Amino acid sequence: MSLDAARGVLACPVCEQGLDVGERPVRCPEGHAFDVARQGYVNLLGQAPPANADTPAMVAARDRVLTSGLYAPIAEQVATRLWGASVVLDVGAGTGYYLAAALDAHPDARGVALDVSVAAAKRAARAHGRAASVVGDVWGRLPVRPRRVGAVLCVFAPRNMAEFARVLVPGGLLVVVTPTASHLAGLRERHGLLGIEPDKDDRLLRSASGYVEAVGRWTVEYAKPASAGVVRDLIAMGPNAFHGVPDDVAPADVDVSVHVWCFRTPLPV
């Protein structure tokens, strides 16, 4: 639950100067101070979380799904793609599951888990001994100093390409995981869940243009049996939870289908 993993990385959300994570409270040279919660995270959001931030119940459901191993092949593929990064920033990190898997695979790396949800930040603070947990908004200016991270990880999360490019080192890596049209298709059809936009990959590439260059895409696709509890949690951990979880949930084979994209920032000429 230490913020030491974020040393030299975080920036003051008020004046944008570097934050000293060794102090309590965390403080910048201008004297702006931010308390460290007893759970070990620091809140740099500067305002109340938005209404669509993950709730404690959603975070608990996500933790149970991820602990079940349902998405372990995705975590393994992501960890493979992050080779060589000494500092990893996981945006929309949730529980910190994917960041922890990456850090386990790369013992010399350290990471920062950033999420707009306080409930998620509390859980991410326990995800890994080399990961710091921060509350922040990916849609705003990230509380991160320029060119301080070797890789940005974005799994099923919002993307702010301009900010990703700003905080990445030259030649830095951006790993993005997006669902394909087949992802959870059976569950979505059976329970009337929110759909997946058909042009999702095209929009990703358009948003990346001018900031990072695509260098590869891998597909992770498989089906796994899941208990009724895991199926219920799959629905309860995402935006569908705001519309209620159906009562007629049963064990099912779950179709998992995602693209793992890799982008890089340009190197100096």
pLDDT digits (tens, 9 = 90+) for 104-140: 999 999 999 999 999 999 999 999 999 999 999 999 9
Is residue 1 scored above 70 in pLDDT? no
In this prediction, residues 225-254 reach a mean pLDDT of: 87
- Where helices occur in the chain by DSSP H, the ranges are 56-67, 72-81, 97-105, 118-124, 161-167, 185-191, 200-208, 228-236
Between 261 and 46, whose confidence is greater?
261
> Which pLDDT score is estimated for 242?
73
pLDDT digits (tens, 9 = 90+) for 6-16: 999 999 999 99
> Which pLDDT score is estimated for 268?
83
The band of 241, judged by pLDDT with boundaries at 50, 70 and 90, is confident
**Mean pLDDT taken over the chain:** 94
Is residue 188 scored above 70 in pLDDT? yes
The band of 191, judged by pLDDT with boundaries at 50, 70 and 90, is confident
Most confident of 82-91, 182-191, 195-204: 82-91
Most confident of 186-195, 214-223, 236-245: 214-223
> Which pLDDT score is estimated for 42?
97
Asked if residues 125 and 146 have their Cβ atoms less than 8 Å apart, the reply is: no
Is residue 141 scored above 80 in pLDDT? yes
pLDDT digits (tens, 9 = 90+) for 20-59: 998 899 999 999 999 999 999 999 998 889 988 999 999 9
> Which pLDDT score is estimated for 51?
87
Asked if residues 188 and 194 have their Cβ atoms less than 8 Å apart, the reply is: yes
Instruction: Please report, for residues 39, 126, 165, 184, the alpha-carbon distance to residue 108 in angstroms, rounded to integers and kept in the order given.
Output: 25, 19, 23, 35
User: Which string of b and e fits 138-153 if b means at least 16 CB within 10 Å?
Assistant: beeebbbbeebbbbbb
In this prediction, residues 262-268 reach a mean pLDDT of: 93
Ramachandran class of 92: left when φ > 0, alpha when ψ lies in -120 to 50, beta otherwise: left
Is residue 76 scored above 60 in pLDDT? yes
> Which pLDDT score is estimated for 244?
75
pLDDT-above-90 percentage for the chain:
84
The band of 192, judged by pLDDT with boundaries at 50, 70 and 90, is confident
SS3 assignment, position 111: strand
> Which pLDDT score is estimated for 156?
95
